[in-house]
Amino acid sequence: MEYAPDRPWYMRLHWQVLIAMALGIGVGLLPGGEVVEAYVGWVGSLFMRLLKMIILPLVITSIVSGVASAGSGRTVGRMFGKTLGYYMASSLLAALTGLLLFNLINPGRGYPVTDTGAPPPELATPSSIEDLINTIVPDNFFNAASGGEMLMVIFFCIVFGAAVTTLPESPREKITSLVDALFKAMMALTTGIIKLLPIGVFALLLTTVTTTGLESFPNLAKYVAGLGSGLAIHFFITLPLLLYFWARVSPWKHVMNMREPLLVAFSTSSSAATLPVTMKTVRERVGVSRRVSSFTLPMGATVNMDGTAVMECVGALFIAQALGADIGVGTQIIVVLTALLASIGAAAVPSAGLVVIFIILGAIGIGDNPQAMLIVAAMLSIDRPLDMCRTAVNVYSDSCAAAVVGKWEGEEGIDEEIRM
Ligand code: ASP
């Protein structure tokens, strides 16, 4: 997943995945497709299990290391507030854009779910503020973690990470270096699992095609269209507006200065792998100081994922709609809020966004629905190109945050010209 532009094309994961997608569909459509599926279908389930296995430790270490890396002290506290404010606002706008597009496109309507005779699932939505608090604030962290209550886990990790930033240097250092080390180990494990992506994608797509034929593709295409438009709106309209109105920065100059990290993000599908290029570019081309960029960018890479927030929102509602569930306003509000939290919890590696979609499905009460699992599998099999786009949006939002916070901190010379 590391950025290695000189590797031959067939060694690059995105090409391998695209080939696996074509093979999965091709073999699935052949007369003996079912027979092959009977032999290799379990590989897709295994791949999904591996992804689910890493959610909890990855989310915990990713959030704590992201938030706690902020450092401490008064100036840092002030910058922390501004940065977090920007991150929350931009991700919320992203999730709302996702919501709007979902309502316009209704991608899940008519999805060919297998008829089991069971009625459509009732979505669980908190009916009062107290109910909502009870789904987010844990009374026992360990129960929450072992019960897969990811919203509670995320809440605890954010406040724990913030508390760590207030400690004196010695204990703060000890905790951050330990969590950082654990996070790196989790990233290494995740990277290893993601290397299996082409095999997983082949098996998952084969299962999708042999079970529902190509019938699910029109719905999947609508999901792709909804998500793609949401990402485009956020990239081309919302973020430029934030840049311009919050910092008087020229969006055109900013995007031109950021061209290289955007391409790297697109080709690696990983904000973390892109981080070194992002940091270098934001300092040298965008012109943000080391102080602000080394604060905003590493935290942003793990915590601020606007593209992922769009996807969580469209994706989770797509699944609920495909199952025939009744999606009311309450559900939509919960999905937006949990999409925000899930995007904070997603690690900056390929496909992490789709992994944390289980957080939202859990929050609306369909986390264990077997049909929902099949739809997630179908979405996973076509996720790579979408992941490439949302990662570029994630990285772009981080660089916008650096420019905006730099301006708010009184820095001059940010994006004054396009630097070659
Ligand atoms: N791949 C994305 C990133 O690294 C996360 C996601 O899957 O949404 O930013």
Q: What is the pLDDT of residues 208-240, one digit of tens each?
A: 788 777 788 899 999 999 999 999 999 999 999
* Better-predicted residue by pLDDT, 171 or 135: 171
Instruction: Indicate which residue's Cα is closest to atom 6 of ligand 1.
Output: 353
- What mean pLDDT comes out for the span 132-160? 85
- 345 within some domain: yes
Report the separation in Å between the CA atom of 308 and the middle of ligand 1, taken as the mean of its atom positions: 6
- 302 C-alpha vs ligand 1 centroid, how far in Å? 9
Residue of the CA atom closest to atom 8 of ligand 1: 353
In a domain, 225, yes or no: yes
Q: What is the CATH number of the domain that holds 44?
A: 1.10.3860.10
Q: What is the mean pLDDT of residues 18-23?
A: 87
Q: What local confidence, expressed as pLDDT, does residue 75 receive?
A: 65
Q: Is residue 55 part of a domain?
A: yes
Mean pLDDT of 169-184: 90
Q: Per the domain annotation, does 307 fall within a domain?
A: yes
Distance (Å, whole) CA 211 – CA 223: 19
Instruction: Please give the angle made by the CA atoms of 143, 327 and 385, to the nearest 5 degrees.
Output: 80
Query: Is the C-beta atom of 349 inside 6 A of ligand 1?
Result: yes
What digits encode the pLDDT tens for the residues 326-372? Answer: 888 888 998 999 899 888 888 888 888 888 898 899 888 888 888 88
Q: Indicate the number of domains in the chain.
A: 1
**Amino acid sitting at position 56:** L
Q: Mutate which of 308, 340, 359, 384 to test ligand 1's pocket (most atoms within 8 Å of Cβ)?
A: 308
Please give the pLDDT value at position 92: 96
pLDDT at 14 over 80: no
313 lines ligand 1 (CB under 6 A): no
Q: What is the DSSP letter of 346?
A: S
The per-residue DSSP string of 155-209 comes to HHHHHHHHHHHTS-HHHHHHHHHHHHHHHHHHHHHHHHHHTTHHHHHHHHHHHHH
CA within 13 Å, CB half, 91: 30
Q: Ligand 1: which of 305, 355, 380, 396 to mutate, judged by most atoms within 8 Å of the beta carbon?
A: 305
Chain segment 90-125, per-residue pLDDT in tens? 999 999 999 999 999 999 988 887 666 666 677 666
Say whether pLDDT at 3 is over 60: no
- The reply to whether 419 falls in a domain is no
Q: Token digits for 278?
A: 């992002």
Return all residues near 170 (Cβ < 8 A) that are at least 6 apart: none
pTM for the structure as a whole:
0.81
Distance of CA 270 from the midpoint of ligand 1 (Å): 6
> Strand, helix or coil at 413?
coil
Q: What is the pLDDT of residue 150?
A: 74
Q: Is the CB of 270 under 6 A from ligand 1?
A: yes
- The reply to whether ligand 1 has any atom less than 6 angstroms from the CB of 308 is yes
Locate the ligand 1 atom nearest the alpha carbon of residue 307 and give its number. 8
In this predicted structure, the answer to whether residue 4 has a pLDDT above a threshold of 80 is no
Residue 389, helix vs strand vs coil: helix
**pLDDT greater than 90 at residue 8:** no
State residue 320's pLDDT score.
93
Domain that holds residue 188: 9-408
- Nearest residue (by CA) to ligand 1, atom 2, is 391
Average pLDDT over residues 67-71: 72
User: Residue 348 CA: which ligand 1 atom is closest?
Assistant: 4
- 398 close to ligand 1 (CB < 6 Angstrom): no
Measured in Å, residue 306 CA sits from the centre of ligand 1 at 10
Is the pLDDT assigned to residue 9 strictly greater than 90? no
- Establish if 1 belongs to a structural domain: no
Please give the pLDDT value at position 226: 95
pLDDT band per the 50, 70, 90 thresholds, residue 408: very high
Residue 240 lies in a domain: yes
Ligand 1 atom nearest to 383, measured from its CA? 7
Tell me the mean pLDDT in the region 264-283: 86
**Cα gap 152→137, rounded to integer Å:** 5
At 121 the pLDDT is: 74
Candidate from 17, 183, 343, 349 with most ligand 1 atoms within 8 A of CB, to mutate: 349
Percent of all residues in the chain with a pLDDT value above 90, rounded to a whole number:
31
Q: DSSP 3-state assignment of 124?
A: coil
pLDDT at residue 236 in the model: 97
Give the pLDDT band of residue 62 (cuts 50, 70, 90).
Answer: confident
Tell whether ligand 1 has an atom less than 6 A from the beta carbon of residue 387. Answer: yes
pLDDT of residue 264: 84
User: Tokens 């654990």, residue?
Assistant: 182
91 lines ligand 1 (CB under 6 A): no
How does the average pLDDT of the chain come out, rounded? 86
Report if residue 416 sits inside a domain.
no
End-to-end CA distance of the chain: 26
Q: Is the CB of 374 inside a 6 Å radius of any atom of ligand 1?
A: no
* Residue 413 backbone dihedrals phi, psi, to 5 degrees: 85, 10
Determine contact, residues 1/194, Cβ cutoff 8 Å: yes
CB distance 101 to ligand 1 below 6 Å: no
Q: Is the CB of 346 under 6 A from ligand 1?
A: yes
Has residue 244 got a pLDDT over 90?
yes
Q: Is 395 in the pocket of ligand 1 (CB under 6 A)?
A: no
Flag whether pLDDT at 308 surpasses 60: yes
Q: What is the pLDDT of residue 310?
A: 97
